[in-house]
Amino acid sequence: MVLSGGDGLTRAFVCVVPERGAAEALASFMEGLRRFGGYKWVSADGIHVTLKFLGDVTAEQIQKLDTSLSRLGGTRPFGVSASGIGFFPSPRRPKVIWLGVREGVPNLEKLARFVENAAKTAGIPEEKKKFRTHLTLARARDERDIPAELAGELERTPGLSWTCRAFVLMKSVLTPSGPIYTPIREYPLD
């Protein structure tokens, strides 16, 4: 496992990644939205449901987390569907445009609690915000109202459906053209 950057830390998170076909269908739709300036749209490889953002962690913390995450048992694969657009912090001047999860929320919440507990045993600080199931579609480059034309396009955002068969410990490297995500390890569901 190649983990850390020059400072010995790895920026990481734990997530659920949609099946390839589902992510590609959503990314294809978003390709048409790139004409709206001021937003950084997520690529097909970047679409995921974050269970926990870990921040910058040490190799030792990742090793402890990996050991704990490997112990999940009794969780069967489950269906996930996502539809409906939302905004953080509000629709008025959103910083994030997201797709809401409709089916599979209790199972994702259960996974998030498991990951939170595993992270705590690895010495990673507890998340202060309430877990909210969503898939980020875009981030605003600055504070702005959503143009009416974009709002109309967002109403046509297709939904996603897939079977969650695993969750992933993911490395994130920030670059000027956007983050690069590399799986550290995948944890299959029973």
Told to judge if 144 belongs to the known catalytic residues of this protein, a careful annotator would answer no
Residues 6 or more apart whose CB falls under 8 angstroms from that of 35 comprise: none
Could you give the CA distance from residue 150 to residue 38 in angstroms, rounded to a whole number? Answer: 12
CB 44 within 8 A of CB 27: yes
DSSP state of 22: H
Phi-psi bin for 14: left (phi > 0), alpha (psi -120 to 50), beta? beta
The reply to whether 158 belongs to the active site is no
Structure tokens, 15:
């997530």
Question: Of 26, 30, 46, 48, which residue is the catalytic one?
Answer: 48
* Of 183, 140, 163, 190, residue with least CA distance to 37: 140
Out of 52, 64, 134, 171, which one is annotated catalytic?
Answer: 134
Catalytically annotated residues: 48, 134
